[in-house]
Structure 1
Amino acid sequence: MTSSTFSVKSIVRPNILALKPYRCARDDYSSGVLLDANENAYGPALNPSSEAAASSSGLDINRYPDPHQHDLKNLIAKFRDVPGPEHFFLGVGSDEVIDMIFRVFCVPGKDAVLITPPTYGMYSVCAQINDVEVHKATLTLDGQFQLNMEEIEKQINEHPNIKVIFLCSPGNPTGSALTHESIRRVLTLPNYKGIVAVDEAYVDFIDASKEGTTATWVKEYPNLIVMQTMSKSFGLAGVRLGVAITTPEIASYMNATKAPYNIASTTSRVAQEALQPKGLDILHKHISVMVEERNRLLEAFKSIPGLGRVLGTNDANFVLVEVLDKESGKPSNDRAHKVYADMASRQGLVVRFRGTEIGCEGCLRITVGTPEENDVVIQRLTEQLAA
């Protein structure tokens, strides 16, 4: 698809096209004696010696934060090799990014989206909240969880009201990175004139020898939104920062629709610190260790009786593994759930039961922890499955 064959305006909700964004006080002036936003000029109601006061030192948290976050966007642009801040929308976690895509492009009660299960559950939750129909094109159920292009094309042809296709790569709960070739095929489907949203929450855990982010493709594809987060590889889940990388036109609609001050000053400061050279050094060290530990878990699971296949292509910071029935040797939801529940309630080890997801019969999703935590995982699973 090229810019000559795709018009963003043709798929943006009419009310969003007509929207006059709320102009907040900081849109006009951000320095001087600021008496324009009804802020509390006396400062925050915090004990000056408290930890909360220390952590917010120098942030003027009695003032509203920067509504545009250009400095933060510039740092992310440099890190992801994207031209500049005009390509970005920042949200309160990826969940706000997902919801914003619905609000900008999907007319409630009329439009639809396409998802590829097993996949991240918030796409369907946001669809229901926004009264948007969901169609499904199941991933290949051969243990690799790749796109079924024939089924995707079928859904597109049968449901012309599909406005957004959500692709999760690496997938959750699959851990599988989708091939770049297949993503390009979706982006260029001849009968599709909607948005393709590629959710790359786990992209930094893909092995360096494989295909990585599609973020730089936004210069090539006018219908692409790449979603990322600082919750996973950066270890900043508590600050809640999600990122949409897209064309300046799409970004402009998303930024016009958002709440004026959605990114907190504390979130911005922590994220900017993480994107400095020292922070990026730590990021790469942590990723390296997590990949090594992921590989150690994969190897250990091969020798634990009662475990079956490790599914997916193992490109995230977790492992999806089958628990087998003692008698039949087949994946068992009953046994997997019992192992999950007993480890959590009796042994203090909490993993995730994913057996209700299509293609994930008998599966536990286990996050890669520290070496010590992973030792506990191996020990507990061995004990549970020997019982």
Structure 2
Amino acid sequence: MPILGLAPSSEPLKPAHFDIEKVIRPNILALHPYRCARDDYQKGILLDANENALGHSIPRSSNQIYPELQAALDLNLNRYPDPSHDDIKTRIAGLRSLPGKNHVFLGVGSDEVIDLVMRVCVAPAKDKILITPPTYGMYAVCAQVNDIGIVRCNLNLDGNEGEGGERGRFSVLVDEVKRAVVSDPSIKLIFLCSPGNPTGTLVSLSAIRSLLDFEPFKGIVVVDEAYIDFAGENASAVSLVKDYANVCVLQTLSKSFGLAAIRLGIAIAQPPLIQILTNTKAPYNISTPTAHLALAALEKDAIVQMHEKINTLISSRGKLLQSLSSLSALGVGAAIGGNDANFVVVPILDRETRVPDNNRSQRVYKVLAEENGIVVRYRGGEAGCAGCLRITVGSEEENKTVIEKLEHVLNIF
């Protein structure tokens, strides 16, 4: 069955064992997407979408109280957004060295994309996804919402060399994942978080490539790269998209671009999967204010400033790690994971036994927040993260304050 909206291609499929039409649910392949006149025409006297032709009703006097509203009020908010946002996709394609905008899909944050990929590929109460704990919690939440089974293959929790040559704490145990998909053909998606959340560890491209080339797995490997810009050059799995139709890379403007509030997520893949996602999404999922801010963030000058801020945060990450190591005597253990993101993860130890202590860590977490105004994240319940706190790299002043407050609290317990 052809994919609606996608022109036929004579190019050979890579890898040869993958057929997207056997991965996508049949009802999704047969879906005729919602179309509106605005898909074809966006200029002129617009009387197609039953919008309010007289405009919004927010008084202009509001600008005097909230001057920041002025720019937003000038965005023709009475009109529905552009359904496709090709200009944003084109800029992302240029930034990530992709062939064109047909390799890019936009969602309301990565969470919408995660949910949508599951809905188009995984049949409820029948098929499954595979995740690699400790990992981002929304994979399991979306699976539960969609009545999808979950297979869990823990990352390398102890740092010993794993099968398949991968080594290091929180690396992917590739051979265990392969065994899981062989034993359970109902697994349609493998989710890899790179750099991981909460691990901060980059997944090697060789590990991803090994799963993509694994002939018994007929599904899609989803690589969630929310923190990829903090991991250095040549780290992204986007480089694999040109050769593999069975990879989908997720990115976002929330982290490195500093635009968490606008909720813009990105899927990067070959055109067949992008077209399926486009056919299935809500008609106007990206708002006009979000689109304008995203376009501004993707201007050349903004990209330069984004990279400058990334470099500052990476430098600050190193300084934060040094400062945390100075609290070793008070029970702050060495940071775990690869430290490839904009956060660090450290275990809080029992002061006598020097082993990770979930009870002490939880007390430190609560007292930091409730009595010292410092909010970090307790992660001690995650596999391989006993006693751990996850601390985002803040500004220079914020990092200084968190060390001072943490030292104070640790001296109490």
> TM-score if structure 1 supplies the norm length?
0.97
In structure 2, which of residues 6, 21, 39 is the aligned counterpart of residue 27 of structure 1?
39
Q: Which residue of 1 aligns with 2:325?
A: 302
Amino acid at match of 1:342: V
Q: Which residue of 2 aligns with 1:264?
A: 287
Question: Are positions 1:341 and 2:353 aligned together?
Answer: no
For residue 202 of structure 1, what is the amino acid of its counterpart? Y
Q: Confirm whether residue 249 of structure 1 aligns to residue 282 of structure 2.
A: no
Partner of 2:199: 174
- Residue 335 of structure 2 aligns to a residue whose secondary structure is strand
Task: Identify the residue that residue 130 of structure 1 maps to in structure 2.
Answer: 146
1:88 to 89, 99, 104: 104
The yes-or-no answer on 1:114 pairing with 2:130 is yes
Alignment of 1:225-236 (within 5 A): 225-236=248-259
The Cα of 1:53 is off from its aligned counterpart by 4.0
Q: How far is 1:186 from its partner? A: 1.2
Asked if structure 2 preserves the Cα contact closer than 8 Å seen for 1:317 and 1:367, the reply is yes
Which residue in the other structure is 2:24 paired with? Answer: 12
**More displaced 10-residue stretch of structure 1: 347-356 or 213-222:** 213-222
Contact preservation (8 Å) 1:157, 1:191: yes
3-state SS in 2 of match to 1:107:
coil
Task: Provide the residue aligned with 1:277 in structure 2.
Answer: 300
Q: Work out the CA distance in 2 between the residues paired with 1:71 and 1:58.
A: 20
Q: CA offset at residue 232 of structure 1? A: 0.3
Unaligned runs of 5+ in 2: 1-12, 160-168
**In the alignment, structure 1 residue 373 sits paired with structure 2 residue 398:** yes
Distance in 1 of aligned mates of 2:54 and 2:68:
17
Do structure 1's residue 193 and structure 2's residue 237 form an aligned pair?
no
1:47 corresponds in structure 2 to 59
Assess if the C-alpha contact under 8 Å between 2:131 and 2:152 holds in 1. Answer: yes
Task: Give the 3-state SS of the residue equivalent to 1:308 in structure 2.
Answer: coil
Which deviates more, 24-33 or 333-342? 24-33
- Per-residue CA deviation, residues 74-98 of structure 1 (Å, 9 max, x unaligned), is 0001111111111111000000000
Give the count of matched residue pairs: 385
What is the SS of the residue equivalent to 1:173? coil
Q: Distance in 2 between matches of 1:193 and 1:5?
A: 7
Verify the 8 A CA contact 2:376 2:392 in the aligned structure 1.
Answer: yes
State how far apart, in whole Å, the 1-side matches of 2:171 and 2:16 are.
Answer: 30
Q: Which runs of 5+ in 1 are unaligned?
A: none
Question: Which residue identity is paired with 2:112?
Answer: E
- State the superposition RMSD in angstroms: 1.2
SS at match of 1:307: coil
**Match among 72, 79, 82 for residue 56 of structure 1:** 72
**How much does 1:2 deviate?**
2.3
Alpha-carbon separation, structure 2, partners of 1:44 and 1:318: 41
Distance 1:142 1:3 in 2: 33
| 1:203, distance to aligned residue in structure 2 (A) | 0.1
Matched to 1:265, the amino acid is: T
**Displacement, 1:8?**
0.2
Contact 2:156 2:171 in 1 (8 A): yes
Q: Tell whether the 8 Å contact from 1:46 to 1:52 is kept in structure 2 after alignment.
A: no
1:6 deviates by: 1.3
Instruction: Report the CA distance between 1:302 and its aligned residue.
Output: 1.3
What is the aligned counterpart of 1:207 among 225, 232, 237? Answer: 232
Q: Percent same amino acid among aligned pairs?
A: 49
Indicate the SS of the match to 1:243: strand
Q: Does 1:184 align with 2:205?
A: no
Pick one of 174, 186, 195 that aligns with 1:149: 174
Moved more, 28-37 or 267-276: 28-37
TM-score, length basis structure 2: 0.91
